[in-house]
Structure 1
Amino acid sequence: MPVSNVEGPVLAIAGGEDNPWPSTPQAQAIQPRLHADAAKATVEVLTYPAAGHGAATYPFQPAGVVGVHPVDGRTYHHGGTRAANAAARSDSRSRVIAFRADLP
């Protein structure tokens, strides 16, 4: 995502054991890529070291670590543990709600 054009606050949520892609380093790389003069483009990164790819989805859905792609039918290992994914989902949901409440 070309974040250099972002002009507002950003909340990035990442799992340290994300198997499909390196979400933690990617989330941490957002701030340096923003324009230095974009005062409104603040970044908050939430990292859940033991969580996988589903660290930021709805807490009331199953926190599985394996899924089947809806188009190609392949099985994907999302990483993390069920417990870590569930904890990340629960914590990140409340943080997203608080973040959105602070938006102008």
Structure 2
Amino acid sequence: CVMFGLGGIFSELQKDVVFAPAPLSASTAKKLIGRISGKKLLQGFRGGKPLDMKIMADILVNLGNLAAASPDIEQIDINPLVVHQGKPAAVDATIIKKRSDEG
């Protein structure tokens, strides 16, 4: 499963996150991004540069592919993934493996 949201107070207070089963296509990833209620922030709100949706969709597709191909991975968390000049960059990431007794 791939979860996408704006993070911070948007995910904690407003629960502004969306989910899709992994793996996902580029088209599904773009639709997933467009389903969050805070999507205007990604479209160049108040003079900011819009997020490069293709790059963001590629990140979601690749994460979904990694998760689907790796049954020993329980969770992949990129937090925060910041956007600067329209380009996303992972600042911190964690991969949690399933415990060996979980199969």
Whose helix fraction is larger, Structure 1's or Structure 2's?
A: 2
Structures share a fold, TM > 0.5? no
Which structure has more relative contact order (CA 8 Å, sep 6+)? It is: 1
Whose strand fraction is larger, Structure 1's or Structure 2's?
A: 2
If the length of structure 2 is used for normalisation, what is the TM-score? Answer: 0.31
